[in-house]
Amino acid sequence: MAEDKAVLITGAGSGIGEACAHAFAAAGARLALADIDKAAAERVAEACGGAAAVIEADCGDVASIEAMVEAAASALGGLDASVNNAGVTRHADIMELTEQDWDRIHRVNSKGVFFCLQTVARQMIAQGRGGRIVNIASIAGRGFKGTSNAAYAASKGAVISLTKTAAQQLGQYDINVNAVCPGVTFTALVEQLVRDRSAARGISAEEMRRSMEAPIPIGRGNDPADIAALCVFLTGPDSRNVTGQSWNVDGGLVPS
Encode pLDDT of 129-173 as tens digits: 999 999 999 999 999 999 999 999 999 999 999 999 999 999 999
Q: Could you tell me the residue ranges of all domains in the chain? A: 6-184+223-249
Which residues lie below 8 Å from residue 208, measured CB to CB, with a gap of 6+?
A: 194, 195, 197, 198, 201
pLDDT of residue 256: 76
Residue 226 pLDDT exceeds 90: yes
Give the separation between CA 74 and CA 79, rounded to whole angstroms: 9
Mean pLDDT of 16-45: 98
Residue 97 pLDDT exceeds 80: yes
Question: pLDDT digits over 105-129, tens only?
Answer: 999 999 999 999 999 999 999 999 9
pLDDT of residue 188: 83
Report which secondary-structure segment, H or E, holds 43: helix 38-47
The CA R_g of the chain, rounded to the nearest whole Å, is 17
Residue among 20, 7, 8, 39 nearest 187 (CA): 20
Please tell me the CATH superfamily of domain 6-184+223-249, with its number: NAD(P)-binding Rossmann-like Domain (3.40.50.720)
pLDDT of residue 191: 86
Cα dist from 186 to 220, 224, 226, whole Å: 10, 7, 11
Active site residues: 152
Note if the pTM is more than 0.85: yes
Give the separation between CA 197 and CA 203, rounded to whole angstroms: 9
CB atoms within 10 A of CB 238: 9
**Phi and psi at residue 149, to the nearest 5°:** -170, 165
pLDDT band of 1, cuts 50, 70, 90: low
